[in-house]
Amino acid sequence: MIKPGDIVRDRITGFEGVVHCRAEWLFGCVRISVQSTEMKDGAPRPMETFDEPSLEYVGPSNVSGSDEPPPTGGPRNDASRRVDASR
């Protein structure tokens, strides 16, 4: 299964990029939006949407799209308030 963050290529057009969105519709159609990493006229190319069967998996990208949340620095020890010396 292709998931957000994967790098994919369309078998028909050769369009390659990073998966940004995976939409599963009511009657089984799965559409995937792909953002190219290439620039066109100094701006990012527009995002394209494809049917899942026309895409092939190229590999993982370096974007954080993993199932695990990023580390937050750990639990906070004490949530006590600082004493205000001006009162």
Sorting pLDDT into bands at 50, 70 and 90, what band is 76?
Answer: low
pTM above 0.95, yes or no: no
**What is the rounded average pLDDT of the residues 31-53?**
92
SS (H, E, C) the chain: CCCCCEEEEECCCCCEEEEEEEEECCCCCEEEEEECCCEECCEECCCEEEEHHHEEEEEECCCCCCCCCCCCCCCCCCCCCCCCCCC
**Where exactly are the structural domains of the chain?**
6-57
Lowest mean pLDDT, pick from 3-12, 42-51, 64-73, 77-86? 64-73
Query: How much is the mean pLDDT over the chain?
Result: 84
